[in-house]
Amino acid sequence: MGSVRLSGGLLFLLSILYPHGHYASVFARKENDELRDLHVEQTRRTWDNASQSCNLFGSDKAPSYVASDQDITFFRHNRPKATITPSPEDLYWIGATSTFTPWFELLGCHVYMPIDNGYIRTLTSLSMVIGPVADCYLQCKSHFGVNDTHCFCPEKMEKGFLNRTCRLTTSSVFQSDVIGTNTVESYYPQIAMYKIYYGSFDIKENSLDECLRINTSDDVRTYPCDTADSTGRTWTTAIIEGLSSNNGGSLQWTSFLRRRIIRWTQSKNY
């Protein structure tokens, strides 16, 4: 069985361009004025080449973000009422690309002394789109902490740490993100701390998923964070309740995750 070695910043593109006739009309799943008169060309191209040859749909929205690949309109040739999942021969390039963040290791929940405002960032509206974990990573550009209102960008992760009760929870706006809990005693913020992992994993059967499972034989695989592992728990539940010690050789969740950031991308000829 083959394996793929991955590190942070992997770039992948969203669709495959297939020819369907020269400048044939294309209909979108959502019928609105913006999408009625789109055309595709006959030539099969890579995304880079297509981006140089025409103004791909959505590229005028650059560099704003897209919530997920499910939120990107797929174009279908001569199928104005298409509601089923598109097959590969029905897909065309659009002006969006996606990158992975580096792998993060969730270190746990930490309570800190009152934090210097220079290390605090307020969560932005991007948290509604890409989640608070990815939002804080983009703001801090280094190791970071997050609760339901703020990012913590420390110079040293251990500075100001207090031995107090701390509770992790899921984000109310992004259910696959684990964050710290704001309490009445907010003078001492509870923060989920994430450390950037600069190594790489020898991942078998790699996919575009964002959470890692491993067994005792070092079989490492990516899975959707909202699926259940051998203990019957999703990644967020396993993290909040406590990861199991793996002594049975079955694939179980780890504290590692990455996030996929999809954004509209300007065409290269504009």
N- to C-terminal Cα distance for the chain?
A: 43
Classify the C-alpha dihedral 61-63-69-74 as positive or negative. Answer: positive
pLDDT digits (tens), the chain, 270 positions: 333 333 333 333 333 233 332 222 233 333 445 555 666 666 778 888 888 888 888 888 888 888 666 566 555 444 444 445 555 566 778 888 888 999 999 999 988 776 677 788 999 998 988 999 999 999 998 899 999 899 999 887 666 666 677 899 999 989 999 999 876 555 678 899 999 999 888 888 778 899 999 887 678 899 999 999 988 999 999 999 999 876 667 889 999 999 989 888 887 765
Rounded distance between C-alpha atoms, residue 101 and residue 126, angstroms:
15
pLDDT at 4: 32
Q: Alpha-carbon distance 75 to 59, whole Å?
A: 15
Residue of 167, 177, 249, 173 lying closest to 210 (CA atoms): 177
d(CA 103, CA 227): 19
Distance of CA 233 to the CA centre of its chain: 20
Identity at 15, one-letter amino acid code: S
Residue 18: name the closest of 47, 45, 53 by CA.
45
Residue 39: name the closest of 57, 52, 61 by CA: 57
> Which residues lie below 8 Å from residue 71, measured CB to CB, with a gap of 6+?
none
The pLDDT, as a whole number, for residue 56 is 83
